[in-house]
Amino acid sequence: MDKTKLKNYAELIVKRGLNVQNGQEVLIQCNLDQPDFVTLVAEECYKAGAKRVTVKWSHQPLSKIHFLYRSPETLAEFTDIERAEWQDRVNKKTCLLWLDSDDPDGLAGTDSKKIADANMARYPYIKPFRDAMENKYQWCIVAVPGKAWARKIFPELSDEEAVEKLWEAIFDCSRITEDPIAEWEEHNKNLYSRCKFLNDYRFDRLEYSSSNGTRFTVGLNPKGIFCGGGETTLGSNIYFNPNIPSEEVFTSPMRGRADGIVYSTKPLSYQGKLIENFWIEFKDGKAVNVGAEKNKDVLEKMIAMDEGAAYLGEVAFIAYNSPINNTGILFYNTLFDENASCHLALGRGFNNCLEGYENYSNEECQKLGINNSMIHVDFMIGSKDLSIVGITADGKRIQVFKNGNWAF
């Protein structure tokens, strides 16, 4: 692998993704797949001024064993050590980096209900910590190759060749050039201009249609705004890019305003299982019926995780001719596939998609229409002939997407 690209990628993650500041602490969560790259990123964090870098390793095959053999009670337990770790993150506003390399099928054969029940039992303990950190710390999700993931994408290649090819795909999608930081500064400006166009119209609702059967209308929040690219922390005003790669312009819709049916255009990897060729029907904002050729039961359990899991937390626009989609690769990974085409997300919405959100509490944001849930799961609906029309409160219709791409 090109060491210059690896170093440029690590620098981009630290300086643009997390934007680590002098004296901050960093938590890196990762699998055992790329220890050398984790070491490189940790060093870049220290060079940027990090006070302490903590690496929390995991191993998906070991997680699978836990899910198979541990009792539901022990899986649901929230220990004193975990409580202390979460409180420490809240106190220090620790930067969080997740290096994703999971096998999309890595938890196949486990009991979806057992896992879902454990997560639901743990959520009330974790939620107060998440709420306390909301929009107050830097976080970033990026990807590194794992052998099993690489084999899933490139089954005809050897392990070494598949990993190498996946590295190159990640670099291409993440805009790793001779100066990726400058590339991302320009990219953020372009996404901001898209947001401004949409926000100036103050659309009341969006209409989706596609030849695959998607016929769907979603209502937008009267106080809602579209966001894209980087975000800024509350209080400390630190600008960072939470997702690398990212091609999306997004908002959180008005809870309770979604009707019609949407068809997926890419598989969804959820809790280590692939949900394929699925559709979701909405009525009065809620997913009321679903179908899937594979793992329908996983989809059904997902939207039943809690009261808000069946409602939408996000609508996102991504051009069909995005750099990711143009690779022609199905990544079986939401970070990439969600940025290949337009998507929706079930579950938790984003407070910062409300104008003046910093003046509202979490509870007030929810009363204003931001959905609340323990999950936030993106699924792709973009197609080469997708049409999206924005409709203003006075009935004016503006073509936002035509033939899968931006219409402006």
**Before 155, cis peptide (omega within 30)?**
no
Q: What share of the chain is helix, strand, coil (3-state, %, to 5)?
A: 35, 25, 40
User: Which position has the token pair 């050729």?
Assistant: 293
93 has a pLDDT exceeding 90: yes
pLDDT given at position 189 = 96
pLDDT in tens, 214-230: 999 999 999 999 999 99
Q: What is the mean pLDDT of residues 370-397?
A: 97
> Sheet holding 312-317: strands in order across?
227-228, 249-251, 312-317, 343-347, 376-380
Q: In the prediction, which pLDDT does 334 show?
A: 87
| pLDDT at residue 181 in the model | 97
Is residue 280 within 8 Å of 259, Cβ to Cβ?
no
Q: Render pLDDT for 238-265 as a digit per residue (tens, 0 to 9).
A: 999 999 999 999 999 999 999 999 999 9
Alpha carbons within 13 A on the beta-carbon side of 45: 25
Whole-angstrom distance, CA of residue 199 vs CA of residue 222: 11
Token representation of residue 246: 């990212």
43-87: per-residue pLDDT in tens? 999 999 999 999 999 999 999 999 999 999 999 999 999 999 999
Mean pLDDT of the chain, nearest integer: 96
> How large is the average pLDDT for residues 153-178?
97
In tens, the pLDDT along 258-292 reads 999 999 999 998 988 999 999 999 999 999 999 99
Q: Does 269 or 386 have the greater pLDDT score?
A: 386
With a cut of 80, say whether residue 397 has pLDDT above it.
Answer: yes
Taking the domains of the chain in order of start, what are their residue ranges? 3-173, 201-227+244-406
Is there a contact between 290 and 296 (Cβ–Cβ < 8 Å)? yes
End-to-end CA distance of the chain: 39
Residue 275 to residue 264: CA distance in whole angstroms: 10
At 15-35, the pLDDT tens digits run 999 999 999 999 999 999 999
Cβ–Cβ < 8 Å for 138, 18: yes
144: pLDDT confidence band, cut at 50, 70 and 90? very high
- Residue 1, pLDDT > 80, answer no
Q: For the domain 3-173, what is the CATH code?
A: 3.40.1830.10
Q: Is 200 exposed, middle or buried (0-12, 13-18, 19+ CB in 10 A)?
A: exposed
